[in-house]
């Protein structure tokens, strides 16, 4: 039952932080695994994060990626964002800007401002994605509204120039003040 798996997730987090129980990353990983197998995507994210850093056992990046995909597919935006940054940075896995854009998009749809800003930057700069300053501006706006000052600054530049968005020096100044 989902309740028991939710309890596993909660107890795993307590063990991970050492709150009210002994700090034990291995026990946390075991509980996250059980909850993930019980179809709790948030638990898959937590298990993946432990496997990625090797905190509870040996580093297992391929398994971590599969678990992040499971979390993302299950609607956990942080799982999508973690995947996006893995593929974007290309340090722990092969760089794949197409997959990065895909996962930034899903994380942005899930409300994560850093992913909106990163996808906006990919559209603003072109490269793997066709340059599209109108899409970039819309994504920067979403990220700015989500509290990402850097995105407010990037949108201010586009707004001042009228690049992909209506030219409006007053709005650009207001956006720059939020940067």
DSSP code string of 16-85: HHTSSS---HHHHHHHHHHHHHTT-HHHHHHHHHHHHHTSSSS--HHHHHHHHHHHHHTT-HHHHHHHHH
Tokens matching residue 22? 């002994």
pLDDT for 1 equals 57
In the block, which residue shows the tokens 């197409």? 98
pLDDT (average), residues 31-58: 90
pLDDT (average), residues 138-164: 97
Asked if residue 2 has pLDDT above 70, the reply is no
Which of 55, 57, 109 has its CA nearest to residue 84?
A: 109
Q: Give the pLDDT band (50/70/90) at residue 3.
A: confident
Tokens matching residue 158? 């586009």
Asked if residue 115 has pLDDT above 90, the reply is yes
pLDDT (average), residues 64-86: 97
pLDDT (average), residues 69-81: 98
Asked if residue 127 has pLDDT above 90, the reply is no
């Amino acid at each position: 039952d989902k309740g028991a798996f939710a309890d596993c997730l909660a107890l795993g987090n307590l063990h991970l932080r050492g709150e009210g129980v002994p700090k034990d990353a291995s026990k946390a990983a075991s509980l996250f695994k059980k909850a993930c197998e019980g179809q709790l995507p948030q638990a898959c994210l937590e298990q993946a994060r432990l496997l990625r850093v090797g905190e509870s056992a040996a580093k297992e990046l391929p398994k971590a990626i599969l678990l992040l995909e499971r979390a993302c597919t299950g609607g956990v935006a942080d799982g999508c964002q973690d995947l996006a940054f893995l593929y974007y940075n290309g340090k722990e896995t092969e760089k794949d800007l197409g997959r990065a854009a895909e996962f930034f998009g899903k994380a942005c749809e899930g409300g994560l401002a850093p992913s909106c800003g990163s996808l906006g930057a990919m559209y603003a700069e072109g490269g793997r994605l066709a340059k599209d300053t109108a899409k970039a501006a819309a994504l920067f706006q979403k990220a700015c509204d989500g509290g990402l000052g850097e995105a407010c600054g990037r949108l201010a530049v586009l707004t001042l120039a009228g690049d992909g968005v209506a030219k409006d020096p007053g709005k650009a100044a207001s956006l720059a003040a939020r940067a």
